[in-house]
Amino acid sequence: MENQERMEQIGGDTFEIINQARQMVKPGVRMIEVARKVEELILKKELQCAFPINLSVNERAAHYTPSFDDQTIFSEKDVVKVDIGLREQDMLTDCAVTVDLSGNHSKLMEATQEALEAAISSVREGRRVCDIGKEVEKVTKRHGVLPIRNLGGHGIGEGELHANYFIPNFDNGDVTELREGDMIAVEVFLTDGKGEVEDGEYNQIFRKFPGVSARERDKREVSDYIDENYRTYPFALRWLVEKFGSEFRARATLNELARQDALESFPVLVEKGRGTVVQFEKSVIVEKEGCRIITQE
């Protein structure tokens, strides 16, 4: 019971912080400034990032976090996905919103929010994940947009951000049933493009596997720091650069870990047709007759 209450508190903190982040995203503002301010807000709550903040713009669907020297400035034409997760020990949350600075994508924004509400309304014990996807797909057909077929929601386990389930944004035929008490992220991605994402070249997010350390002393210090501070959770390259003051040293360590097959990378995901992508996401707890939204006030 105490864990449930604490999880709801962390979910409330997540909702509060993502709404502050939403207000920071304005034309002329540097992306790195938003990322750093959000991270400061998380630390003030005595919490940690479950993953680096994602600030993915336009055709980028996910996994864009700014580099330490990122010069990106939000423009009046941008559609910005803000995706954050909070962590306390192994309790995790995940939440996302989209800010349409252009004002030109109201149909896509409305469809994605409506689809998220439809998906959440269908969540309950015993619900098949394909049926949740079917609810999203109904909305997309009414609005004439497409779901991203190779992105979706997921289960959230203790110490595991992607656990148990994949929650599709269309009817994929998966008859896996939700269980009461499980936490899931209902995560809707819609687009006016081709409906699929592919890996881009930009890559600033990594995850280290346990039990392996860099061999050389200066690299081992960086490797040990990752183990002590991020464990097996995703981290940003810029966090290492800011800590050790050297991009070369940070990259050299990651390169060695990659050679030892001890590193996973998360390249930016780009819509194949270079269409605009909109994302909204909430974390919920599955109940017998519905669900309880965690990432809310």
Q: What would the two tokens of residue 287 be?
A: 């109940």
Going by their DSSP bridges, the two strands 153-157 and 160-167 should be labelled as: antiparallel
As annotated, the active-site residues are 83, 94, 154, 162, 187, 281
For residue 124, give both structure tokens. 């309950």
DSSP 101-133: SSS--HHHHHHHHHHHHHHHHT--TT-BHHHHH
- Give the SS3 label for residue 202: coil
Exposed / middle / buried, residue 144 (Cβ in 10 Å: 0-12, 13-18, 19+): exposed
In contact, 98 and 177? CB cutoff 8 Å: no
DSSP state of 55: E
Q: Please say whether the beta carbons of 250 and 184 come within 8 A.
A: no
Calculate Rg over the CA atoms of the chain: 19
- What is the chain's percent helix, strand, coil content, to nearest 5? 35, 30, 35
